[in-house]
Chains A and B, each alone.
Chain A
Amino acid sequence: MTTIQRKAVALISGGLDSMLATKVIQEQGIHVEGINFYTGFCVEGHTHAIRKHDADKVKRNNALWVAEQLGIKLHIIDIIEEYKNVVLNPKHGYGQFLNPCLDCKIFMVKKAKEWVDEQGFDFIITGEVIGQRPKSQRKVTMPIIASQSGAEDRLLRPLCAKNLPITLPEREGWVKRELLYDFSGRSRTPQISMAKNFGLNDFAQPAGGCCFLTNEHYSKKLSDLWQAKGKRDYEFDDIMLLKIGRHLRPKPNFKLIIGREEGENLFLEGYRKQFTHLKVISHMSPLVLLDGEPSAQDIELAAQITARYSQGKDSERVEVQITTQSGVSWVMPVVPLAVSEIPQTWYI
């Protein structure tokens, strides 16, 4: 009699839980491949690495690194466009900030289910643990995710399966329930212990920090973007730029994005053709992007702010080059604004 090789797809975030969940299922002889969804809000080591002072941080994609440790294929899938609806219209609402965690999980499991159906895989696994996350990983949300994603009993959470109803892979005997786990709560001790038993000593600990939407500061900038646009919407470049630089909104009709150091200035250089931009030419200066529709007076204010963040901040007068999107460029001599002239309310 031939045994069918059963296949599962694991949602790989790059953190420890999904790594362990995959390992548990691999140990039961299941062929596992990973999926990692790219929403545009993912916190990547590389985004941080744009900044020179973070240059010593490891520039690895944690999901890929996890896949390599586990010896599985990883499919990174771009869901940027489709994900907009999750962020803009979360059926289950937001968490503490603009994080639609429950809708996000439902959406990702739904996408995984589509992938499983297309690729002829048998079931889906996640590293969810009951009680681990306040919004999406609760006993009451587990069945919601399973049903609203359409995965139903093809969704297996190996780390807490014993606390949940039996699933198809367990019922069919593809995996043994007695070899699954009953983790619950916020403690990381069982996971750390399991990692040690598997010989896994190096792992990322995102602990909810894998998405910019769980970040208060980022969420504030996103809210400001919606307010300035007059509608709840965004483009990919919008959400990328929210990750970079110092953002100041001196007036409702425009904001400035100021590079904080060389790496960010280089990144912002790539957007010069899409924005009016400013740079002090008489002194060392950050690159400043101006987003909005400024008046002539606003441009002068923007130049004074740019001067404030340049090496010429204490000079009586500095020269700021202003270049519009259409490439028209001129030099404006300005007096840098004093620190006291920049109210805290301008900082987004």
Chain B
Amino acid sequence: MMANYELNAKGLLCPMPVIKVQQKIQQLTKGDILTVYCTDPGTQHDLPAWCRVHGHTLLTLQQEQNEIKISLRVE
């Protein structure tokens, strides 16, 4: 059954948020939703790119002040 997960990657500089997402996703299954909270502006480019190369679906990307919230679905 699909489940929602969260990951706090605030304060980490790229590529650490990508590495943390990669590690987290290894524990998840197809259909799970992962929401990642980051502060490095680079994640706005890197996490969508990482999703594209691994075939996961980027659901939303929102930026509010210095915080970035990215949701993706594990495929």
Contacts from A to B (Cβ < 8 Å): 36, 38, 42, 44-47, 49-50, 59-61, 63-65, 67-68, 72-78, 240, 266, 270
Q: Mark B1-22, 1 if CB is under 8 A from A, else 0.
A: 0000000000101111011001
Q: A38-B19, A78-B16 are in contact. Are A46 and B40 (CB under 8 A)?
A: yes
Q: Is the interface of A mostly helix, strand, loop or mixed?
A: mixed
Cβ distance A265 to chain B, nearest Cβ, rounded Å: 12
Task: Check if B66 sits within 8 Å of A64, measured CB to CB.
Answer: no
Cβ distance A43 to chain B, nearest Cβ, rounded Å: 12
Residues of B within 8 A of A76 (CB): 15, 18-19, 22, 50
Task: Check if A64 sits within 8 Å of B41, measured CB to CB.
Answer: no
- Chain B, interface size category, equals 20 to 34
Task: Check if A73 sits within 8 Å of B54, measured CB to CB.
Answer: yes
Task: Check if A64 sits within 8 Å of B11, measured CB to CB.
Answer: no
Residues of B within 8 A of A266 (CB): 66
Report the separation of the CA atoms of residues A260 and B53 in the bound assembly, to the nearest whole angstrom.
36
Q: With contacts A60-B45, A76-B15 known, what are 13 further pairs, Cβ within 8 A? A: A38-B16, A44-B15, A46-B14, A50-B13, A59-B41, A60-B42, A60-B46, A60-B49, A61-B46, A64-B50, A64-B53, A68-B49, A76-B18
The answer to the question of B44 belonging to the interface, with a C-beta cut-off of 8 Å to chain A, is: yes
Task: Check if A67 sits within 8 Å of B41, measured CB to CB.
Answer: no
Contacts from B to A (Cβ < 8 Å): 11, 13-16, 18-19, 22, 40-42, 44-46, 49-50, 52-54, 66
Cβ distance B64 to chain A, nearest Cβ, rounded Å: 15
Task: Check if A44 sits within 8 Å of B45, measured CB to CB.
Answer: no
Residues of A within 8 A of B19 (CB): 38, 76-78
| 27 residue pairs from A and B, CB less than 8 Å apart | A36-B15, A38-B16, A38-B19, A44-B14, A44-B15, A44-B42, A46-B40, A49-B41, A59-B44, A60-B45, A60-B46, A60-B49, A61-B14, A64-B46, A64-B49, A65-B49, A67-B53, A68-B53, A72-B53, A73-B53, A73-B54, A76-B18, A78-B16, A78-B19, A240-B13, A266-B66, A270-B11
CB-CB nearest in chain A for B43? A46
Please name the 8 residue pairs, one residue from A and one from B, whose CB atoms are nearest each other, closest first: A46-B42, A46-B14, A64-B49, A59-B42, A61-B46, A67-B53, A78-B19, A60-B45
Cβ distance B59 to chain A, nearest Cβ, rounded Å: 19
Task: Check if A61 sits within 8 Å of B13, measured CB to CB.
Answer: no
Residues of B within 8 A of A64 (CB): 15, 18, 46, 49-50, 53
Report the separation of the CA atoms of residues A163 and B57 in the bound assembly, to the nearest whole angstrom.
43
Residues of B within 8 A of A44 (CB): 13-15, 42
Cβ distance B14 to chain A, nearest Cβ, rounded Å: 4
Report the separation of the CA atoms of residues A275 and B57 in the bound assembly, to the nearest whole angstrom.
40
Task: Check if A46 sits within 8 Å of B13, measured CB to CB.
Answer: yes
Report the separation of the CA atoms of residues A75 and B22 in the bound assembly, to the nearest whole angstrom.
8
Residues of A within 8 A of B45 (CB): 59-61
Task: Check if B66 sits within 8 Å of A47, measured CB to CB.
Answer: no
Report the separation of the CA atoms of residues A64 and B43 in the bound assembly, to the nearest whole angstrom.
12
Q: Which of the listed residues B11, B14, B45 has the most CB atoms from chain A within 10 Å of its own CB?
A: B14
CB-CB nearest in chain A for B20? A78
CB-CB nearest in chain B for A40? B16
Report the separation of the CA atoms of residues A47 and B40 in the bound assembly, to the nearest whole angstrom.
9
Residues of A within 8 A of B16 (CB): 38, 78
Report the separation of the CA atoms of residues A42 and B18 in the bound assembly, to the nearest whole angstrom.
15
Report the separation of the CA atoms of residues A118 and B53 in the bound assembly, to the nearest whole angstrom.
21
Report the separation of the CA atoms of residues A72 and B55 in the bound assembly, to the nearest whole angstrom.
10
Residues of B within 8 A of A60 (CB): 42, 45-46, 49
Report the separation of the CA atoms of residues A270 and B54 in the bound assembly, to the nearest whole angstrom.
31
Cβ distance A91 to chain B, nearest Cβ, rounded Å: 27
Report the separation of the CA atoms of residues A60 and B46 in the bound assembly, to the nearest whole angstrom.
6
Residues of A within 8 A of B50 (CB): 64, 74, 76
Task: Check if B13 sits within 8 Å of A74, measured CB to CB.
Answer: no
